[in-house]
Chain A
Amino acid sequence: MTRPAPDPAATAPDPAPAPDPAIASRQALLRTLALAEADEVLATLGAIDPAPDYTVVRGPEVGLVMVRGRIGGGGAPFNAGEATVARCTVKLASGEVGFGHVMGRDETRAKAIALLDALAQTAAHAETIAAAARAMDAARTAREAARAAEVAATRVDFFTMVRGED
């Protein structure tokens, strides 16, 4: 068996998302909404005035996503187990289609994400939702930083003692 030296390409991260700025900003919004607390998402949707006119294209429904890992962390993929995911697709009366996906079984949350995704494509609400997304990002970053600071305080440095006999 041959075991060549590690190929840098073999451990490089997955290709970056498409460079299209519209796609990148939509992707970023969906990420923000999926990582936000449910009540933040619902409050953002609740503040949209007037309430959107829409039809539900699919769902909301709960299903499974097979979670994949990589052997050794960076090797071939394997199936590590499943996760519940709620999803919903909506279409505004003005034609914009929104998609909502979020871990767990909260269909209301998935539908709210789908509506915000659709509304963010309208000129009337794009800036409101972008501002709300910035606030959600800031809140999440603060939560993560607070936790990281608690974890950092458990940093350890062990000293190796000199062995007695030799």
Chain B
Amino acid sequence: MYVAVKGGAAAIANAHRLLAKDRRGDPAVPELTAEQIAGQLTLAVDRVMAEGSLYDPELAAIAIRQARGDLIEAIFLVRAFRTTLPRLGASRPVDTAAMAIERRISATFKDLPGGQVLGPTFDYTHRLIEPDLGAEPPATADPLGPAPRVTDVLGHEGLVEPDAADPAARDAEPGDLTREPLVSPLPRDVRLQALARGDEGWLLGLAYSTQRGYGRNHPFVGEIRTGAVELELDVPELGFPVTLGTMTLTECQMVNQFHGSAEEPPQFTRGYGLVFGRVERKAMAMALVDRALRAGELGEDRVAPAQDEEFVIAHSDNVQATGFVEHLKLPHYVDFQAEAALVRRLRAEAAAGAAPGETDAQEAAE
């Protein structure tokens, strides 16, 4: 048990003043603006929005500046801010098929309706440090046609499992982990909500583990797309949905190991990732982990960490994780003294040749 401490107010106030000075850096160098961060450190902003679970680029940029670039601290700030706001409602489900495409690739289908476009990618760069970044005007070309989701194109052949076996599911009210406690077994919609806000590093490591053999499911990238979608909200007073604006999303459709049985022909299964911003690595990892967590549903043995829902979801939130790990640095004097006294007594008993206290096998305090 944690025993509270008090005092230290003057030291804490002075530490925060020192933090402010160090955060500002050399006063001879102009101060960073939130606008610069939002415009030039876009992917940091996107990560904070995704894991902060709050789409607001300007707010994320302010948080990054305040956190001195510590993204988990910035995510924490965004999560704290969100708790001060009322919930106005839930949007209509965004239509990723109608996305204004910024990037769209498939590792499985060469000739897609609407084409494959690399967009502003780091892929195929040489990863050489460039101290002076130039920016030539980008090339232009005639716009491409509509880009349906690859899974919809393939779905018509029956090669991959459809989005919803039960059409009634399309109108189901999804669970919300910000309103209800997480109790396993979780439905897939709640797992996806948790994964969408989960830590990128955690999901990346788990996704990698499935590729290395811990719950292998033989993935292909059916499609990755990034771009802007419109957000719509039903406003009861108006009686029709209103457009709220656009948001950039990244969607990953993973096409995986196929299944078949006596009753049904073999079919590819799927994993899905959808993340705020241009967080492609995370969207891919999310899709792999989503697929791994479907092991039970698809009749696979749950043998690997990435297939263990309680393990994956309970440890995916980096604000919770950092809170519990970092609380260890707070004063634990009383807990430690209690344990130190116990160790001293056991050592004294051992030195005296007595059997160590069998009845005192007390659990360490948390």
Give, as a whole number of angstroms, the nearest-CB distance from B48 to chain A. Answer: 12
| Contact B141–A75 (Cβ < 8 Å) | no
B217 near A: Cβ within 8 Å?
no
The number of chain A residues with a CB under 8 A from chain B is 70
Do A73 and B253 touch (CB < 8 A)?
A: yes
Choose among B86, B178, B244, B274 the residue with the greatest number of A CB atoms under 10 Å from its CB.
B244
Report which of A6, A18, A31 forms a contact with B155, defined as CB distance below 8 A. Answer: A6
Whether A84 and B85, one on each chain, are in contact in the complex, defined by CB atoms closer than 8 angstroms, is yes
Q: B245 and A35: CB pair below 8 A?
A: yes
* Residues of A close to B93: CB separation below 8 A: 14, 68-70, 77
Knowing A3-B162, A73-B96, say if A99 contacts B140 (CB, 8 Å). Answer: no
Which of A44-52, A102-110, A121-129, A130-138 lines the interface with chain B?
A: A102-110
The answer to whether residues A66 and B192 also contact, given A104-B58, A149-B141, A156-B118 and a CB cut-off of 8 A, is: no
Across-interface contacts of A78 in B (CB, < 8 A) = 174, 188-190, 192-193
Tell me whether B233 is interfacial, beta carbon within 8 Å: yes
A67–B231 alpha-carbon span in the complex (Å) = 8
Within 8 A of A (CB), among B49-86: 49-50, 53-56, 58-59, 82, 85-86
Report chain B residues within 8 Å CB of A87.
88
Min C-beta distance of A45 to chain B, whole Å: 18
Q: Return the contact of A4 from the options B142, B165, B193, B240 (Cβ within 8 A).
A: B165
Chain A, range 16-51, C-beta contacts under 8 Å to B = 17-18, 23, 26-27, 30-31, 34-35
Pairwise interchain contact A73-B251, C-beta atoms closer than 8 A: yes
Give the most central of B101, B143, B176: most A CB within 10 Å: B143
User: Which stretch of B2-10, B17-25, B262-270 is in the interface?
Assistant: B262-270
> Per a CB cutoff under 8 Å, which of B118, B170, B196, B233 touches A10?
B170
Per the bound structure, the CA–CA distance linking A68 and B7 in Å amounts to 45
Cα separation A18 to B239 with both chains bound (whole Å): 9
Taken residue by residue from 86 to 110, chain A's Cβ proximity to chain B (1 for < 8 Å, 0 otherwise) reads as: 0101000000000101111100000
B117-173 contacts to A, CB under 8 A, are: 117-121, 138-144, 149, 151-152, 155-156, 158, 161-165, 167, 169-170, 172-173
B340 an interface residue at 8 Å Cβ cutoff?
Answer: no
Interface 0/1 of B202-246, CB less than 8 Å to A: 000000000000000000000000000011010101111111111
Q: Confirm or deny: A162 has a beta carbon within 8 angstroms of a beta carbon on chain B.
A: no
Q: How many residues of B contact A (CB 8 A)?
A: 97
Say yes or no for A76: interface residue by CB 8 A criterion. Answer: yes
What are the residues of chain B within 8 A of A154 when measuring CB–CB? Answer: 103, 117-121
* B56 engages A105 (CB within 8 Å): yes
Chain B residues with CB under 8 A of A144: 100
A76 to B174, CA, bound (A): 8
30 contacts between A and B (CB under 8 A): A2-B263, A3-B162, A3-B264, A11-B152, A14-B92, A23-B239, A31-B242, A34-B245, A61-B86, A64-B54, A69-B274, A70-B94, A72-B270, A73-B97, A75-B162, A75-B164, A79-B175, A79-B176, A83-B244, A83-B247, A99-B235, A101-B235, A104-B245, A149-B141, A149-B143, A151-B103, A151-B119, A153-B139, A154-B121, A155-B116
Nearest 3 A/B pairs, CB to CB: A103-B245, A75-B163, A78-B189
Interface residues of B (CB under 8 A from A): 49-50, 53-56, 58-59, 82, 85-97, 100-103, 105, 110, 115-121, 138-144, 149, 151-152, 155-156, 158, 161-165, 167, 169-170, 172-178, 188-190, 192-193, 196-197, 230-231, 233, 235, 237-247, 249, 251, 253, 263-264, 267, 270, 272, 274, 276, 297, 299
Question: Assuming A66-B90, A76-B170, A158-B110, what are 10 further A-B pairs, CB within 8 angstroms?
Answer: A34-B245, A64-B82, A68-B90, A79-B175, A81-B193, A89-B237, A99-B237, A103-B246, A152-B144, A156-B116
